[in-house]
Amino acid sequence: MCGILGIVGHNDVAAQLYDGLTVLQHRGEDAAGIATANGSKLRVHKGNGLVSEVFDAKAMALLEGRVGIGHCRYPTAGSEGSDEAQPFYVNSPFGIALAHNGNLINTDALRREVFEQDRRNVNTESDSEVLLNVFAHELDTQKALNPEATFRAIEGVHKRCVGGFAVVATVLGLGLVAFRDPNGIRPLVLGKRQGNGQDEYAVASESVALDLLGFERLRDVRPGEAIVITPRGELFTRQCAEPRMHTPCIFEYVYFARPDSMMDEVSVHKARMRMGQKLGEKILRLRPDHDIDTVIPIPDTSRDAALEISNVLGVKYREGFIKNRYVGRTFIMPGQGERAKSVRRKLNPIPLEFRNRVVLLVDDSIVRGTTSKQIVQMARDAGARKVYLASAAPPVRYPNVYGIDMPSAEELVAHDRTDDEVQKLLGCDWLIYQDLSDLEEAVSGPKHNIEYFDSSCFNGEYVTGIEPGYFERIKQLRSDEAKKTRRA
Ligand SMILES: O=P(O)(O)OC[C@H]1O[C@H](OP(=O)(O)OP(=O)(O)O)[C@H](O)[C@@H]1O
Ligand SMILES: NC(=O)CC[C@H](N)C(=O)O
Ligand SMILES: [Mg+2]
């Protein structure tokens, strides 16, 4: 679930892109990059690591220009190598750099098409490089370089690319370009501010980046909409794909996004609180005479939900696990070995919050079960009398193909298992999951801001349709086993 950011300012934007990427860091910790456009020069600096590791003063000084884009990566296609860090660059037509959050599901066919029909070379296994080459080809077929021609090119991209995608690009001689997939699966938000008497704009995966940089959040980019912003601060927008059902990814609200972001007019923080309320009510319905002494969150993401569960149950909320802030998010790490080791390094119990108590541990989601299995054991070792586990999301049973790296159903602890079987596997005394209808209501909120969701990892329904054999193929390419073999 990468983070993307694009800015058009009245002076150099690299430092602001850097700052913005630091608050999108939770969306991808594997690689980072920035591209800036300055007159006839497009400069790109990228590499593996956190934003703070990839850039030094020398690299920043070279990133001149008032138009720029940034990216932090969590791979869902290709490898974790530095050659697949983003933004990607092509020199023709004009010089384009592009950064992408999401995942294309027709990459193989597109790759062939790009080579055979468009006569373009894609040098990596990245779907994003394929997407860039499709855009470049479509722009090349236009007679002029202006917003109108760019929108026609993006119409062409929508006709060819299938999947989840939010994109920022900079085209030399044009400015900043941004667009979102026709179902609005991946998020993208637009902001504006004044700088030196000029309108300045930014587009970002999450509104928290706009807040930090002093941009006012104008609105979300609409599904299928495209935006062009010239270096002078002129904004052009156009619907470039047939309207389809708007189905934002529900997992953004469960886990990916920061709680201080607004996405598609929904506060992530409030959505998580409502998840907690609903789950608390379900616990009371199923066990009105429960014996829970304490509610304990599994930090970080489950805190909002856990606090509300404790309020609904009328039971104490306690921080029982201390998180080592120098260890990254485990779920977005590329390999299972690394993920498993990191949980213990990351979380350590405070024994007095467990000794002789019946504890309800709360997590936002249980995906591979890596975290919860170890946490349950840690709670027992710390002296808990009974360990219950609540998940603010329903069982994750199906692969995600739109930008979350869950390619193989067999790796999901709840795939093909009953709740009882999962409970046994995780070793807890009671396991309780949120119902999907409750989760969807919790995110949609009292104003019903979102009607439909991409909830595919919970219900196996894929809004774009999936070609036969696709799941088998991504499993072969991207399962933990396949990644291990590739690295060896
Ligand atoms: O069942 P699993 O495969 O372990 O995946 C789910 C866990 O991973 C995530 O935590 P993560 O450590 O990535 O980030 P967080 O600190 O934001 O909670 C998520 O919040 C769950 O705790
Ligand atoms: N998580 C993402 O958005 C990934 C973007 C792209 N598919 C990549 O692997 O680089
Ligand atoms: Mg977590």
Q: pLDDT tens across 82-122, in order?
A: 999 999 999 999 999 999 999 999 999 999 999 999 999 99
What are the residues facing 360 on neighbouring strands?
295, 388
The residues annotated with a catalytic role in the active site are 2
Distance 218 CA to ligand 1 centre (A): 31
- pLDDT average, residue stretch 333-356: 89
| Nearby residues for ligand 3 (ion, Cβ within 5 Å) | 301
Judging by DSSP bridges, how do beta strands 175-180 and 430-433 pair with one another? unpaired
Average pLDDT over all residues of the chain: 96
- The pTM of this model reads 0.96
* 169-171-173 Cα angle (round to 5): 155
Ligand 2 atom closest to residue 404's alpha carbon, by position in its atom list: 1
Ligand 2 centroid, distance to 78 Cα (angstroms): 9
Ligand 2 binding pocket, CB closer than 6 Å:
1-2, 73-78, 100-103, 126-128, 403
List, for residues 374-401, the tens digit of each pLDDT value. Answer: 999 999 999 999 999 999 999 999 999 9
Looking from the CA of residue 78, the nearest atom of ligand 2 is: 9
- Which amino acid is residue 327, in one-letter code? V
Q: What are 62-93's pLDDT values in tens digits? A: 999 999 999 999 999 988 899 999 999 999 99
**pLDDT, mean of residues 30-58:** 97
Four-residue CA torsion sign, 84, 85, 87, 89? negative
> Residue 379's pLDDT is what?
98
Residue 125 Cα to ligand 2 middle (Å): 11
- Tell which residue, 183, 257, 270, has the closest CA to residue 444: 270
Q: How far apart are CA 339 and CA 213, in angstroms?
A: 33
- pLDDT tens per residue, range 145-191: 999 999 999 999 999 999 999 999 999 999 999 999 999 999 999 99
Q: In the numeric block, which tokens belong to residue 47?
A: 């590499």
* Strands of the 67-73 sheet, one edge to the other: 41-48, 31-38, 67-73, 3-8, 198-204, 189-195, 216-220
Question: Is the minimum distance from the CB of 300 to ligand 1 under 6 angstroms?
Answer: yes
- Specify whether the CB–CB gap between 478 and 410 falls below 8 A: no
Where does the pLDDT of residue 336 fall: very low under 50, low under 70, confident under 90, or very high at 90 and above?
A: confident
Phi, psi of 300, deg, nearest 5:
-95, -40
Predicted confidence at residue 67, as pLDDT, reads 98
Q: Alpha-carbon distance 259 to 422, whole Å?
A: 28
Q: Which pLDDT score, from 0 to 100, does residue 482 have?
A: 81
Q: Which pLDDT score is estimated for 15?
A: 98
Whole-number pLDDT of residue 82: 94
What integer pLDDT is reported at residue 185 of this predicted model? Answer: 98
pLDDT digits (tens, 9 = 90+) for 429-467: 999 999 999 999 999 999 998 999 999 999 999 999 999
The Cα 52–Cα 35 span in angstroms is 16
Q: Could you identify the atom of ligand 2 that is nearest to the CA of residue 76?
A: 9
